[in-house]
Amino acid sequence: MTWMVDDEIDEDATVGVAADLLGLTVRTLHHWDEIGLASPSRRTSAGYRLYTWDDLERLSRVVAYRDAGLTLDAIRGVLDDAATEIGITLRQQRARLAEQIHDLQQLDERLERMTDAHERGILMNDDEQREIFGEDWNPQQARAARFVWGGSRQWAQFAERSASRSKAQWRALSEDMSALQRDLADAVRRGVEPGSAEADDLVERHRELFSNFFPLTQRMQVCLGRMFEADPGFSSYYNGIGEGLATWFRRSIDESARHHGIDPDTATWE
């Protein structure tokens, strides 16, 4: 709290007394003395510093402007300039403060979005999700994913990216994923061989698309391929896109991994 000088004080104050009156430390007063910001005008016969009434008034003003956020250099200017300059300095300080408040509000909004993304995964309501991902989309999928993988590094990465992703960006990703799924179904229908250049290209497109959510290595993709085939939910989903797609895609991912020197039988999640 800023200390106000009492007109009834008629004795000079030692450094300790001045510090107590103003709620400061002796070290702070010594520092302000050393830099010439606010110095005691008198000394005792033993050489101890004494603050006069005017010195205490200056110290009180220093504290007031410091509490208002001014730097010590700015405070020196305010105390030593004409009164007309004080208003300019204070308006400049208010402008800086307004900018800081704006930045803090934006930071708070980003933190709120990141918090929500860690809890919900996708920062869109159910209707918005169906609009972007299609009427067959089940909004519970993101919540179920958090239940299973919420403690993983990949979920944290997914949430961090989701927090800054706009609806337009989600729409673009959804369209890219739909295009990939159509091409996967077409490849299975045409009998494209796993390990062929075309199959490898599709596998890489899948890895790049998934890397928009979290970094996905080829070894991690092998693990996903196993899950796509073995998990009844994923297997049903992929086979619904194209008959036999779950197994074909797992085989294609395995063959692509081999082309990169990875043994799919020993690949683990990274």
pLDDT per residue, tens digit, the chain (270 aa), is 444 444 444 578 999 999 999 999 999 999 999 999 999 999 888 888 899 999 999 999 999 999 988 999 989 988 887 665 788 888 888 999 899 999 999 999 999 999 999 999 999 999 999 999 988 888 888 888 888 888 899 999 999 999 999 999 999 999 999 999 999 999 999 999 999 999 999 999 999 999 999 999 999 999 999 999 999 999 999 999 999 999 999 999 999 999 999 999 999 998
94 and 137 together in one domain: yes
231 and 270 together in one domain: yes
| CATH classification of the domain holding 184 | 1.10.490.50
182 and 145 together in one domain: no
108 and 50 together in one domain: no
176 and 270 together in one domain: yes
- Domain residues for the domain of 140 are 83-165
Mark which of 122, 145, 165 sits at the end of a domain: 165
Mark which of 80, 99, 130 sits at the end of a domain: 80
3-state helix/strand/coil string of the chain: CCCCCCCCCCCCEEHHHHHHHHCCCHHHHHHHHHCCCCCCCEECCCCCEEECHHHHHHHHHHHHHHHCCCCHHHHHHHHHCCHHHHHHHHHHHHHHHHHHHHHHHHHHHHHHHHHHHHHHCCCCCHHHHHHHHCCCCCCHHHHHHHHHHCCCHHHHHHHHHHHCCCHHHHHHHHHHHHHHHHHHHHHHHHCCCCCCHHHHHHHHHHHHHHCCCCCCCHHHHHHHHHHHHHCHHHHHHHHHHCCCHHHHHHHHHHHHHHHCCCCCCCCCCC
171 and 239 together in one domain: yes
